[in-house]
């Protein structure tokens, strides 16, 4: 196995045994990025110099016997998580040259453990999108098929993991932005419970929905990264002071006696691709063979999820993105003379069309005379959705569903149809509205050899049971072991 293909736990063992050095591992990943980045387009910034410097320090620590599970491991970071001294753009021209003066809490935790920050990963602008085509810099391509999307908004993170362009990564999930690209790229992605991982230093899209989480090559790596980033943070008012278990302790449990809920509303969802349906049914059968008991549950307010989400998310985005006015930091149109003209021109040139669309939608929902009819109603529906899950979990331990209704779409397929893009989030949005954890794991392939993910959801702060189910499923299958053959055409030929 080549060094860039290693998992976190494999690399850790080799580093611990001094069979490889962090410098060798980091250089191997940098070489891999150099070999395939032009075709995958997963990175906005590659931090070659600082990564090699950090690797040298990691090797010194290892030589002195100081090694954690992440010491010397090269990680990619979604480009909306603040990294001190390293450009953080949020995939937007309006923050093209923004260099944060501080680290996000999760970055501080990773650095304390000796992890290597190898670069910042491409994304839909301000995390608004499901395809990574809304990046202000370039679209990312799916390593399994260069003509297809990797999903979004953490498309760069998922593509980088699938293409072995980092050993592990962090993304963020507001409505499925970790789970959906994980599904499309055939990797593991977890959205933790809202409040489980600090949001301090995460550039906000929708503050009541955003959550940082890991994207990895397998379930064990996912648990290791969750061990590193989870926990209470006084710097984040939404962080919950709750003890964090060792998530790797759940990786050996069996599924006998566990009850899996199958939402009847998801089974009847319109637009569900036959290949996805077959893969999910096969996945459910595997869980039953492993000893789980599957029962039907109901989430009756599913039909309102998309509408409620896009009112709440765009309303919060409208407020959060008001700070980008060209005055304090970021892009400014200096050609305009008056303050109002500068505001208007800066935001018109700095934000892409999808971000502008969502700001307009959110501003309308919050405007006088419409607040109660839109944001107020959406908040009521959010409460109803949360109650749906509470009742469902009275009858089961976890809920399984598709992650996305189709395998990865063609690049450009929904570029001119934002409503189609919004509707593709039907299976992932509920977990964000309810604040519950969810994980996507590989569960099959389409007839065109495109990865398909299985989503597993659990009660608040019950990530442990997700790891238990996901690990058992992974051990019984080999989908996570399959790798894309990256033999892509040049971008201008597609």
Single out the residue of 219, 235, 231 nearest to residue 193, CA to CA. Answer: 231
Q: Catalytic: which of 22, 172, 177, 318? A: 177
C-alpha dist (Å) from residue 375 to 192, 242, 420, 425: 25, 30, 22, 19
Residue 446 structure tokens:
């389409």
- Give 300's Cβ-side CA count (13 Å radius): 6
Does the annotation count 239 as an active-site position? no
- Distance (Å, rounded) from C-alpha 158 to C-alpha 141? 10
Cβ-based burial of 385 (10 A; exposed 0-12, middle 13-18, buried ≥19): buried
Q: Is 109 annotated as catalytic?
A: no
Rounded to an integer, what distance in angstroms lies between the CA atom of residue 189 and that of residue 369? Answer: 40
Report helix, strand or coil for 399: strand
* Cα–Cα distance, 168 to 160 (Å, whole number): 9
The whole-angstrom separation of Cα 432 and Cα 309 is 9
- Could you tell me which of 150, 296, 264, 270 has the C-alpha nearest to residue 215? 150
Give the position of tokens 């759940």. 250
- Of the residues 153, 198, 315, 430, only one is catalytic, namely 153
Collapse the DSSP code of 41 into the 3-class scheme (helix H, G, I; strand E, B; otherwise coil) and give the result.
Answer: coil
Cα–Cα dist 467/192, whole Å: 11
User: CA 47, CA 88: separation in Å to the nearest integer?
Assistant: 12
Q: Which of 22, 78, 93, 130 is catalytic?
A: 78
Residue with tokens 């980045």: 37
Residue 445, phi then psi, degrees to nearest 5: -135, 150
- Distance between CA 389 and CA 329 in Å, rounded? 41
Using CA atoms, how far residue 478 sits from 98, 182, 187, in Å, is: 42, 16, 12
Comparing CA positions, the residue from 267, 297, 298 lying closest to residue 405 is 267
Whether the link from the prior residue into 20 is cis, omega within 30° of 0, is: no
- Per DSSP, the three-state class of 219 is helix
Joined tokens for residue 54 = 């950090």
- Is 78 among the residues known to form the active site? yes
Phi-psi region of 352 (alpha: psi -120 to 50; beta: other; left: phi over 0): beta
DSSP letters, 96-164, are TT---SS--HHHHHHHHTT-EEEEEE--SGGG--SSS-S-SS----BTTBTTB---SSSHHHHHHHHTT
Residue 43 is inside which H or E element, if any? Answer: strand 43-46
Residues 6+ apart with CB under 8 A from 485: none
Q: Which amino acids are annotated catalytic?
A: 78, 153, 177
């Amino acid at each position: 196995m080549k060094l860039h293909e290693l998992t976190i736990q494999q690399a850790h063992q080799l580093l611990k045994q001094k069979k490889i050095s962090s410098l060798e591992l980091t250089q191997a990943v940098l070489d891999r990025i150099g070999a395939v980045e032009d075709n995958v387009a997963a990175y906005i910034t590659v931090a070659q110099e600082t990564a090699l410097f950090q690797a040298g320090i990691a090797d010194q620590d290892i030589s002195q016997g100081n090694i954690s599970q992440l010491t010397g491991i090269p990680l990619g970071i979604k480009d909306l998580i603040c990294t001190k001294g390293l450009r953080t753009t949020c995939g937007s021209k309006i923050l093209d040259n923004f260099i944060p003066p501080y680290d996000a809490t999760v970055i501080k935790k990773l650095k304390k453990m000796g992890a290597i920050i190898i670069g910042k990963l491409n994304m839909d602008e301000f995390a608004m999108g499901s395809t990574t085509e809304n990046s202000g810099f370039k679209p990312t391509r799916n390593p399994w098929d260069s003509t297809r999307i990797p999903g979004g908004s953490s498309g760069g993170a998922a593509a980088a993991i699938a293409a072995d362009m980092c050993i592990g990564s962090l993304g963020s999930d507001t409505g499925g932005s970790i789970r959906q690209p994980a599904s499309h790229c055939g990797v593991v992605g977890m959205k933790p419970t809202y409040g489980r991982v600090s949001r301090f230093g995460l550039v906000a899209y929708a503050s009541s929905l955003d959550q940082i989480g890991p994207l990895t090559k397998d379930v064990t790596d996912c648990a290791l990264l969750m061990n590193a980033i989870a926990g209470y943070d006084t710097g984040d008012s939404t962080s919950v002071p709750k003890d964090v278990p060792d998530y790797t302790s759940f990786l050996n449990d069996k599924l006998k006696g566990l009850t899996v809920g199958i939402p009847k509303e998801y089974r009847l969802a319109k637009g569900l691709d036959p290949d996805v349906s077959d893969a999910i049914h096969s996945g459910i059968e595997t869980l039953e063979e492993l000893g789980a008991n599957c029962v039907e549950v109901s989430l009756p307010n599913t039909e309102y999820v998309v509408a409620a989400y896009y009112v709440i998310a765009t309303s919060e985005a409208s407020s959060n993105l008001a700070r980008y006015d060209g005055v304090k930091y970021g892009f400014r149109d200096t050609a305009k003379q008056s303050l109002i003209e500068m505001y208007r021109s800066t935001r018109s040139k700095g934000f892409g069309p999808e971000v502008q669309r969502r700001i307009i939608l959110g501003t309308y929902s919050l405007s006088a005379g419409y607040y109660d009819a839109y944001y107020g109603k959406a908040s009521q529906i959010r409460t109803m959705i949360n109650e749906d899950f509470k009742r469902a979990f009275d009858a089961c331990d976890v809920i399984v569903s598709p992650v996305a209704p189709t395998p990865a779409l063609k690049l450009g397929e929904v570029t001119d149809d934002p409503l189609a893009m919004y509707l593709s989030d039907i299976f992932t949005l509920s977990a964000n509205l309810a604040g519950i954890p969810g994980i996507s794991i590989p569960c099959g392939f389409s007839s065109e050899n495109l990865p398909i993910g299985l989503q597993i959801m659990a009660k608040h702060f019950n990530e442990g049971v997700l790891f238990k189910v996901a690990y058992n499923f992974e051990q019984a299958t080999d989908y996570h072991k399959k790798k894309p053959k990256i033999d892509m055409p040049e971008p201008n030929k597609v």
